[in-house]
Amino acid sequence: MSSTFTPFHRGGSGSPLVLLHGFTDTWRTWELVLPQLERHHDVLAVTLAGHAGGPPLDEVSDAALVDAVERAMDEAGFATAHVAGNSLGGYISLQLAARGRAESVVALAPAGGWAVGDESFNETLAYFTTMQELLAAAVPHADMIVASPEGRRRATEFIATNFEHIPAELIAHLMRGAASCPGVVPLIEFAEREGWKLDAERIDCPVRIVWGTDDRVLAWPSTAARFRDDWLPRADWVELDGVGHCPQLDVPLEAAQLIAGFTAR
Protein backbone atom coordinates (compact mmCIF):
# COMPACT_ATOMS: atom_id res chain seq x y z
CA MET A 1 0.00 0.00 0.00
CA SER A 2 1.28 3.49 -0.82
CA SER A 3 -0.17 6.96 -0.57
CA THR A 4 -0.48 9.69 -3.16
CA PHE A 5 -0.86 13.13 -1.69
CA THR A 6 -2.98 15.55 -3.70
CA PRO A 7 -3.85 19.22 -3.17
CA PHE A 8 -7.62 18.94 -3.20
CA HIS A 9 -10.77 17.00 -4.01
CA ARG A 10 -13.83 18.48 -5.67
CA GLY A 11 -17.17 16.80 -6.26
CA GLY A 12 -20.92 17.07 -5.93
CA SER A 13 -23.31 19.86 -6.85
CA GLY A 14 -25.15 22.62 -5.08
CA SER A 15 -23.97 25.56 -3.02
CA PRO A 16 -20.20 25.74 -2.40
CA LEU A 17 -18.80 23.97 0.66
CA VAL A 18 -15.12 24.07 1.65
CA LEU A 19 -13.71 21.37 3.96
CA LEU A 20 -10.52 22.00 5.95
CA HIS A 21 -8.61 19.24 7.75
CA GLY A 22 -6.64 19.33 10.99
CA PHE A 23 -2.94 19.73 11.71
CA THR A 24 -0.79 17.10 9.89
CA ASP A 25 -3.84 15.60 8.11
CA THR A 26 -4.77 15.71 4.42
CA TRP A 27 -8.09 16.39 2.68
CA ARG A 28 -8.81 12.66 2.79
CA THR A 29 -9.83 12.89 6.44
CA TRP A 30 -13.23 13.89 4.98
CA GLU A 31 -13.67 10.83 2.75
CA LEU A 32 -16.31 9.16 4.90
CA VAL A 33 -18.58 12.22 4.89
CA LEU A 34 -18.13 13.20 1.23
CA PRO A 35 -20.91 10.99 -0.24
CA GLN A 36 -23.56 12.62 1.92
CA LEU A 37 -22.23 16.19 1.66
CA GLU A 38 -21.85 16.00 -2.13
CA ARG A 39 -25.59 15.32 -2.45
CA HIS A 40 -26.17 18.89 -1.26
CA HIS A 41 -23.01 20.83 -2.11
CA ASP A 42 -20.28 21.54 -4.62
CA VAL A 43 -17.56 20.35 -2.22
CA LEU A 44 -13.95 21.53 -2.27
CA ALA A 45 -11.81 19.64 0.25
CA VAL A 46 -8.35 21.18 0.27
CA THR A 47 -5.02 20.11 1.70
CA LEU A 48 -3.63 22.96 3.77
CA ALA A 49 -0.38 24.71 2.89
CA GLY A 50 2.64 23.04 4.46
CA HIS A 51 0.89 19.66 4.57
CA ALA A 52 1.42 16.54 2.46
CA GLY A 53 0.08 17.32 -1.00
CA GLY A 54 -0.70 20.94 -0.21
CA PRO A 55 1.01 24.07 -1.52
CA PRO A 56 4.33 25.13 0.01
CA LEU A 57 4.22 27.28 3.11
CA ASP A 58 6.33 30.19 1.95
CA GLU A 59 5.54 32.27 5.03
CA VAL A 60 5.02 30.52 8.35
CA SER A 61 1.91 32.04 9.91
CA ASP A 62 -1.75 31.31 10.44
CA ALA A 63 -2.51 34.14 8.00
CA ALA A 64 -0.51 32.33 5.31
CA LEU A 65 -2.62 29.21 5.82
CA VAL A 66 -5.79 31.24 5.40
CA ASP A 67 -4.35 33.03 2.34
CA ALA A 68 -3.71 29.66 0.68
CA VAL A 69 -7.30 28.54 1.27
CA GLU A 70 -8.57 31.81 -0.18
CA ARG A 71 -6.48 31.22 -3.29
CA ALA A 72 -7.98 27.73 -3.63
CA MET A 73 -11.46 29.20 -3.28
CA ASP A 74 -10.68 31.83 -5.91
CA GLU A 75 -9.42 29.18 -8.32
CA ALA A 76 -12.59 27.16 -7.73
CA GLY A 77 -14.73 30.23 -8.42
CA PHE A 78 -16.04 30.45 -4.85
CA ALA A 79 -16.45 34.09 -3.78
CA THR A 80 -17.93 32.75 -0.56
CA ALA A 81 -18.80 29.26 0.66
CA HIS A 82 -20.08 27.33 3.59
CA VAL A 83 -17.00 26.14 5.47
CA ALA A 84 -16.45 23.18 7.77
CA GLY A 85 -13.16 22.45 9.47
CA ASN A 86 -11.67 20.17 12.07
CA SER A 87 -9.06 21.22 14.65
CA LEU A 88 -6.60 23.54 12.88
CA GLY A 89 -9.04 23.54 9.98
CA GLY A 90 -11.79 24.71 12.33
CA TYR A 91 -9.62 27.62 13.44
CA ILE A 92 -8.90 28.52 9.80
CA SER A 93 -12.62 28.25 9.02
CA LEU A 94 -13.30 30.94 11.59
CA GLN A 95 -10.47 33.07 10.20
CA LEU A 96 -12.13 32.83 6.77
CA ALA A 97 -15.41 33.94 8.33
CA ALA A 98 -13.66 36.95 9.84
CA ARG A 99 -12.46 37.82 6.30
CA GLY A 100 -15.99 37.63 4.96
CA ARG A 101 -15.48 34.48 2.87
CA ALA A 102 -17.86 32.17 4.79
CA GLU A 103 -21.63 31.81 4.42
CA SER A 104 -21.61 29.64 7.53
CA VAL A 105 -19.05 27.74 9.59
CA VAL A 106 -19.21 24.35 11.25
CA ALA A 107 -16.08 23.98 13.38
CA LEU A 108 -15.34 20.50 14.72
CA ALA A 109 -13.11 20.86 17.81
CA PRO A 110 -11.45 24.04 16.50
CA ALA A 111 -7.94 24.82 17.71
CA GLY A 112 -7.05 28.06 19.45
CA GLY A 113 -9.73 28.18 22.15
CA TRP A 114 -7.57 28.02 25.26
CA ALA A 115 -8.38 30.71 27.83
CA VAL A 116 -6.03 33.67 28.09
CA GLY A 117 -3.18 32.63 30.39
CA ASP A 118 -3.82 28.90 29.94
CA GLU A 119 -0.44 27.52 28.94
CA SER A 120 -1.69 23.97 28.46
CA PHE A 121 -1.70 24.55 24.70
CA ASN A 122 2.03 23.84 24.92
CA GLU A 123 1.14 20.28 25.95
CA THR A 124 -0.88 19.89 22.75
CA LEU A 125 2.01 21.19 20.67
CA ALA A 126 4.34 18.79 22.48
CA TYR A 127 1.93 15.96 21.61
CA PHE A 128 2.41 16.65 17.90
CA THR A 129 6.18 16.73 18.31
CA THR A 130 6.07 13.36 20.05
CA MET A 131 3.70 11.96 17.42
CA GLN A 132 6.13 12.89 14.66
CA GLU A 133 8.85 10.90 16.38
CA LEU A 134 6.57 7.89 16.82
CA LEU A 135 5.32 8.09 13.23
CA ALA A 136 8.84 8.13 11.85
CA ALA A 137 9.32 4.70 13.39
CA ALA A 138 5.84 3.38 12.60
CA VAL A 139 5.23 4.48 9.00
CA PRO A 140 7.61 1.96 7.38
CA HIS A 141 5.37 -0.69 8.95
CA ALA A 142 2.04 1.07 8.29
CA ASP A 143 0.58 -1.72 6.15
CA MET A 144 1.31 -4.31 8.83
CA ILE A 145 -0.05 -2.06 11.59
CA VAL A 146 -3.40 -1.45 9.88
CA ALA A 147 -3.79 -5.12 8.93
CA SER A 148 -5.08 -6.00 12.40
CA PRO A 149 -7.88 -4.53 14.53
CA GLU A 150 -5.38 -4.00 17.33
CA GLY A 151 -3.08 -2.03 15.05
CA ARG A 152 -5.94 0.09 13.70
CA ARG A 153 -7.02 0.82 17.27
CA ARG A 154 -3.50 1.98 18.22
CA ALA A 155 -3.21 4.10 15.09
CA THR A 156 -6.50 5.92 15.73
CA GLU A 157 -6.77 6.01 19.51
CA PHE A 158 -6.03 9.74 19.80
CA ILE A 159 -8.39 10.86 17.04
CA ALA A 160 -11.44 8.59 17.18
CA THR A 161 -13.34 6.54 19.74
CA ASN A 162 -15.04 4.44 17.06
CA PHE A 163 -12.58 3.05 14.54
CA GLU A 164 -13.86 -0.28 13.21
CA HIS A 165 -15.56 1.32 10.18
CA ILE A 166 -12.51 3.38 9.09
CA PRO A 167 -10.85 1.66 6.09
CA ALA A 168 -7.35 0.35 6.77
CA GLU A 169 -6.04 2.08 3.65
CA LEU A 170 -7.34 5.45 4.87
CA ILE A 171 -5.70 4.99 8.26
CA ALA A 172 -2.39 4.14 6.59
CA HIS A 173 -2.74 7.18 4.33
CA LEU A 174 -3.33 9.50 7.28
CA MET A 175 -0.32 8.03 9.06
CA ARG A 176 1.88 8.62 6.02
CA GLY A 177 0.44 12.07 5.49
CA ALA A 178 1.22 13.12 9.05
CA ALA A 179 4.74 11.72 8.82
CA SER A 180 5.27 13.58 5.52
CA CYS A 181 3.92 16.94 6.72
CA PRO A 182 6.71 19.46 6.01
CA GLY A 183 5.18 22.26 8.04
CA VAL A 184 5.07 20.52 11.41
CA VAL A 185 8.12 22.07 13.07
CA PRO A 186 7.80 25.63 11.73
CA LEU A 187 4.07 25.77 12.48
CA ILE A 188 4.59 24.45 16.02
CA GLU A 189 7.31 27.04 16.58
CA PHE A 190 5.02 29.77 15.24
CA ALA A 191 2.18 28.74 17.58
CA GLU A 192 4.54 28.64 20.56
CA ARG A 193 5.77 32.13 19.73
CA GLU A 194 2.60 33.88 18.58
CA GLY A 195 -0.31 32.03 20.18
CA TRP A 196 -3.85 32.16 18.78
CA LYS A 197 -5.82 35.20 17.60
CA LEU A 198 -9.28 35.66 16.11
CA ASP A 199 -11.12 38.82 15.04
CA ALA A 200 -14.35 37.32 16.32
CA GLU A 201 -16.22 40.62 16.18
CA ARG A 202 -15.88 40.52 12.38
CA ILE A 203 -17.67 37.17 12.11
CA ASP A 204 -21.26 37.82 11.04
CA CYS A 205 -22.23 34.44 9.57
CA PRO A 206 -23.89 31.57 11.48
CA VAL A 207 -21.42 29.41 13.42
CA ARG A 208 -21.86 25.93 14.83
CA ILE A 209 -19.18 24.44 17.08
CA VAL A 210 -19.10 20.67 17.59
CA TRP A 211 -16.98 18.94 20.23
CA GLY A 212 -16.62 15.33 21.32
CA THR A 213 -16.51 14.73 25.06
CA ASP A 214 -13.76 12.09 24.60
CA ASP A 215 -11.43 14.36 22.60
CA ARG A 216 -7.87 13.34 23.54
CA VAL A 217 -6.14 16.08 21.53
CA LEU A 218 -8.21 19.14 22.49
CA ALA A 219 -9.89 18.18 25.74
CA TRP A 220 -13.49 19.25 26.21
CA PRO A 221 -14.44 21.69 27.67
CA SER A 222 -11.20 23.40 28.75
CA THR A 223 -9.78 23.93 25.26
CA ALA A 224 -13.06 25.53 24.14
CA ALA A 225 -13.02 28.16 26.90
CA ARG A 226 -12.24 31.22 24.81
CA PHE A 227 -14.72 30.29 22.10
CA ARG A 228 -17.47 29.83 24.70
CA ASP A 229 -16.72 32.74 27.01
CA ASP A 230 -15.18 35.38 24.77
CA TRP A 231 -15.14 34.91 21.01
CA LEU A 232 -18.32 33.01 20.08
CA PRO A 233 -20.66 32.64 23.06
CA ARG A 234 -23.73 32.91 20.82
CA ALA A 235 -22.65 30.15 18.45
CA ASP A 236 -24.72 27.00 18.10
CA TRP A 237 -22.95 24.49 20.37
CA VAL A 238 -23.19 20.72 19.90
CA GLU A 239 -21.63 18.26 22.34
CA LEU A 240 -21.06 14.72 21.08
CA ASP A 241 -21.02 12.27 23.95
CA GLY A 242 -18.24 9.68 23.74
CA VAL A 243 -16.80 11.02 20.47
CA GLY A 244 -13.14 11.83 19.87
CA HIS A 245 -11.18 14.60 18.16
CA CYS A 246 -12.21 13.88 14.55
CA PRO A 247 -15.99 13.40 14.33
CA GLN A 248 -15.77 13.10 10.54
CA LEU A 249 -13.86 9.86 11.09
CA ASP A 250 -15.40 8.80 14.39
CA VAL A 251 -19.12 9.26 13.60
CA PRO A 252 -19.19 10.21 9.90
CA LEU A 253 -22.94 9.96 9.39
CA GLU A 254 -23.66 12.20 12.38
CA ALA A 255 -20.88 14.61 11.40
CA ALA A 256 -22.23 14.91 7.86
CA GLN A 257 -25.74 15.54 9.20
CA LEU A 258 -24.45 18.24 11.55
CA ILE A 259 -22.75 19.99 8.64
CA ALA A 260 -25.48 19.59 6.01
CA GLY A 261 -28.23 20.39 8.49
CA PHE A 262 -26.55 23.65 9.43
CA THR A 263 -25.79 24.77 5.88
CA ALA A 264 -29.44 24.17 4.95
CA ARG A 265 -30.71 26.71 7.47
Residue 40 lies in a domain: yes
**Amino acid 83: pLDDT:** 98
pLDDT digits (tens, 9 = 90+) for 57-66: 989 999 999 9
Burial environment of residue 120 by CB neighbours within 10 A (0 to 12, 13 to 18, 19 or more): exposed
d(CA 127, CA 143): 24
d(CA 9, CA 160): 23
**Amino acid 2: pLDDT:** 56
Residue 220 lies in a domain: yes
Omega into 35 within 30° of 0, i.e. cis?
A: no
Q: Based on the structure, what is the number of domains in the chain?
A: 1
Instruction: Report if pTM > 0.95.
Output: yes
pLDDT digits (tens, 9 = 90+) for 145-158: 999 999 999 999 99
Residue 3 lies in a domain: no
Residue 134 lies in a domain: yes
Radius of gyration of the chain (CA): 17
- 28 phi, psi to nearest 5 deg: -70, -10
Q: What is the CATH classification number for the domain harbouring 90?
A: 3.40.50.1820
Domain hosting residue 198, numbered range: 8-263
Compute the average pLDDT of residues 205-234: 97
pLDDT digits (tens, 9 = 90+) for 85-119: 999 999 999 999 999 999 999 999 999 999 999 99
Residue 2 lies in a domain: no
